[in-house]
């Protein structure tokens, strides 16, 4: 991941690591030992299930930022405002809330408005507890080993949902071929 460090130099722009929701638990663990400027801030909402995941994120040494679901400011705008003010790295799981395997348009809206870099990311490993239904998800066991596959960073200011989805699917296919 050290190749990504130049993205953290001035003038600093936010970095958005994005992936499918199924990789969320693995991505949290994978970033545990990342250099501090590359370590993403977790983004969650103020609901109870999200709060549980936020607790585990802080146990891994990452910061968490929480948006309000019931607010006069829509969640996408809250995230944009946060990225504009903090200029940090964050992780977004682009199909959270479904439909799975489809990038939501809010990813490109956020990237454009916050002038962010986008970095597609998938994580795989050995020693995982795997669930296939309703979607494929892996949960790390204490003795697991993880492999992070990330794509080349690209400018989020002039991209499309289709481009983001294509890059993530290609990265996932290459990662499966390597394993």
Two tokens, residue 7: 């993205």
pLDDT band for position 143 (50/70/90)?
confident
- Whole-number pLDDT of residue 155: 96
Q: Where are the alpha helices (DSSP H) in the chain?
A: 24-30, 48-59, 75-86, 105-114, 161-178
Per-residue model confidence as pLDDT tens digits over 2-43 = 889 888 887 889 999 999 888 888 888 888 888 888 999 988
The alpha carbon of 119 is separated from its chain's Cα centroid by a whole number of angstroms, namely 9
134 pLDDT exceeds 70? no
153 pLDDT exceeds 70? yes
For the chain, domains (ranges, CATH) are: 12-178 (3.40.50)
136 pLDDT exceeds 70? no
Alpha carbon distance 26, 54 (integer Å): 14
The mean per-residue pLDDT over the stretch 44-65 comes to 82
99 pLDDT exceeds 80? no
Strands 15-19 and 89-93: parallel
The mean per-residue pLDDT over the stretch 143-156 comes to 90
Global pTM value:
0.89
């Amino acid at each position: 991941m050290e190749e990504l460090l130049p993205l953290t130099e001035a003038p600093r722009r936010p970095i958005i690591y994005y992936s499918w929701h199924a990789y969320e638990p693995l991505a949290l663990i994978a970033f545990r030992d990342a250099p501090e400027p590359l370590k993403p801030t977790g983004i969650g909402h103020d609901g109870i299930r999200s709060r549980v995941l936020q607790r585990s994120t802080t146990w891994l040494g990452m910061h968490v930022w929480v948006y309000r679901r019931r607010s006069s400011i829509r969640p996408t705008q809250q995230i944009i405002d946060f990225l504009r003010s903090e200029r940090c790295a964050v992780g977004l799981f682009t199909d959270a809330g479904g439909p799975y395997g489809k990038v939501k348009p809010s990813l490109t809206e956020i990237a454009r408005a916050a002038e962010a870099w986008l970095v597609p990311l998938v994580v795989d490993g050995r020693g995982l507890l795997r669930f296939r239904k309703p979607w494929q998800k892996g949960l790390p066991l204490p003795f697991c080993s993880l492999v992070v596959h990330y794509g080349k960073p690209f400018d989020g200011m002039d991209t499309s949902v289709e481009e983001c989805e294509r890059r993530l699917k290609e990265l996932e296919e290459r990662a499966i071929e390597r394993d």
